[in-house]
Amino acid sequence: MNLSYVSDRQYANKGKRSRKLKHMGMMLPVEDMEISKNFYETILERKVQYDFGDTLVFECGLMLCEKKDFAAAVGQDVNTIKKQANNMLICIEESDMERFSDFLDEHPDVKILKRMVELPRGQRVIRIYDPDMNIVEIVETMESMIRRFIMDGLTPEAASVKSEYPVDVIQKCYRKVSSSG
């Protein structure tokens, strides 16, 4: 598939201003707004920026919309909006994975898809379902991962190999983590 017609170079060559598309977030259809709002505020510590009743906008850009209104907005029958499609992840960073794992233990109503695991590249993740069965991945921040690497005695070069991050990125992070204690 040739997508050269959308390149900035072609716009520039024709004297047209290139488009500046900005990712604003994503919208999820929900069955029960109050249950979902409570989950995102309590479990995932998201802060509501705007509450329009049938639609919530969180400061992070994530939006929740009542399922019937979502279906109407996208021009679909409400029955075509699938639950637990398992075809995307909502990714949220966490600097203290142990704290979050312990927090989940205090909330047995949260459906856990995958308890904390370490990926081959060294980053730890936890996967849970939200009330509408969307997968939420809680991922360890890079700085937290690097802090663990330092505590394990890895050099920046060894950490680069393990994490697949470029060594200059790892070195910058090592300096930041080392200076912050």
Q: Would you say residue 77 has pLDDT above 50?
A: yes
Answer whether 47's CB lies under 8 Å from 58's CB.
yes
Residue 7 in tokens: 């390149």
At 3 the pLDDT is 46
Q: Does the model's pTM come out above 0.85? A: no
Q: Does the structure show a pLDDT above 90 at 172?
A: no
pLDDT value at residue 4: 47
Q: Is 17 left (phi over 0), alpha (psi -120 to 50) or beta?
A: beta
| Residue-level pLDDT at 42 | 96
SS3 assignment, position 47: coil
User: Which residues are registered as beta bridge partners of 117?
Assistant: 125
pLDDT for residue 144 is more than 50 = yes
pLDDT in tens, 33-70: 999 999 999 999 999 999 999 999 999 999 999 999 99
